[in-house]
Structure 1
């Protein structure tokens, strides 16, 4: 699989269903021990009514297939999910580069403590753990961790 053949573009209303399907497949594969707090129809509705129209939502598309989704809200990386077949191919790196390009002053995000692969991915991309919770404030009631990325300081002009 060649990530050079993947187009990263802003999501349109017509992309909501396919983006939700990527989220559902990825969640099931990456988080088998975490209860999904919402059923498939609720997730699709959330993408169609909230994420795509109200947030900065991007999709990764190859041919006519959506294989990745990125959602940013101001400086918060809300969602970064890949089709399980595309993990480890460099697509996550491309989506992270896009997120940093769109939020050059810094990003924060939450992930579940149990999601070791995601935590290692964020740490490789310069995110630093700043907070842990017992999960009582998320829908899944799963302990989570907050990460923050700050860009390197700009060299002084002159």
Structure 2
């Protein structure tokens, strides 16, 4: 496999489950990716109104995200998808983890992959209320570049644009 297809799991101690493998999503993953996104969004952002119904989100992943954007998934042992990252040009468009996988280093691996794939720099948007995301991205070298009142996003939720530029 080449770098566009997957990254290998790092070895772990004998007797422990292997870390999830990061790989490109395929059409067959779209439904599971959408369900993962729905669960993760609702867990991470319970106070933020989603702008789209569950069915609209599922259709968006099936017809737009997976076939048209650089979509990566984290596949755990047994085949369960536990994370998703979407790159759209130099924009980190989506990064969501299954709630049980938060705080276990998987987000760090996705950000490292994003930086590897976009060595010239990245930007992303996150909601102002999502302070755990702010800490996470700042820890990874992203800087706040812009704050808005949310008038330009579908949720109408104040947001923050973060930028990472290589040294």
TM-score over 0.5 (shorter chain): yes
Provide the C-alpha distance between the structure 2 equivalents of 1:4 and 1:112, rounded to a whole number of angstroms: 33
How many residues are treated as equivalent by the alignment? 151
Structure-1 residue corresponding to 2:9? none
**Partner SS for 2:96:** strand
Q: Higher relative contact order by CA 8 Å / sep ≥ 6: 1 or 2?
A: 1
Against the structure 1 CA distance between its residues 151 and 4, is the aligned structure 2 distance closer, same or farther, given a 3 Å change threshold?
farther
Q: TM-score, normalised by structure 2?
A: 0.88
Structure-2 residue corresponding to 1:129? 144
Q: Tell me, which stretches of 5 or more residues in structure 2 are unaligned?
A: 1-15
Provide the C-alpha distance between the structure 2 equivalents of 1:70 and 1:108, rounded to a whole number of angstroms: 13
Contact 1:113 1:143 in 2 (8 A): yes
Structure-2 residue corresponding to 1:41? 55
Once the 2 structures are TM-superposed, how far is the Cα of residue 37 of structure 1 from its aligned partner? 0.8
Provide the C-alpha distance between the structure 2 equivalents of 1:128 and 1:6, rounded to a whole number of angstroms: 28
Give the superposed CA RMSD.
Answer: 1.1
Provide the C-alpha distance between the structure 1 equivalents of 2:18 and 2:126, rounded to a whole number of angstroms: 27
Structure-2 residue corresponding to 1:17? 31
Provide the C-alpha distance between the structure 2 equivalents of 1:32 and 1:52, rounded to a whole number of angstroms: 25
**Partner SS for 2:28:** helix
Provide the C-alpha distance between the structure 2 equivalents of 1:85 and 1:46, rounded to a whole number of angstroms: 24
Once the 2 structures are TM-superposed, how far is the Cα of residue 28 of structure 1 from its aligned partner? 0.5
Structure-2 residue corresponding to 1:66? 81
Instruction: Choose which of 105, 108, 118 in structure 2 pairs with 1:103.
Output: 118
Residues 65-98 of structure 1 deviation map (CA, whole Å, 9 limit, x = unaligned): 0000000011000000000000000000001101
Residues 99-148 of structure 1 deviation map (CA, whole Å, 9 limit, x = unaligned): 11110000000000000001110000000000011101111000000000
The structure 1 segments of at least 4 consecutive aligned residues displaced by more than 6 Å after TM superposition are: none
Q: TM-score, normalised by structure 1?
A: 0.93
Q: Tell me, which stretches of 5 or more residues in structure 1 are unaligned?
A: 153-158
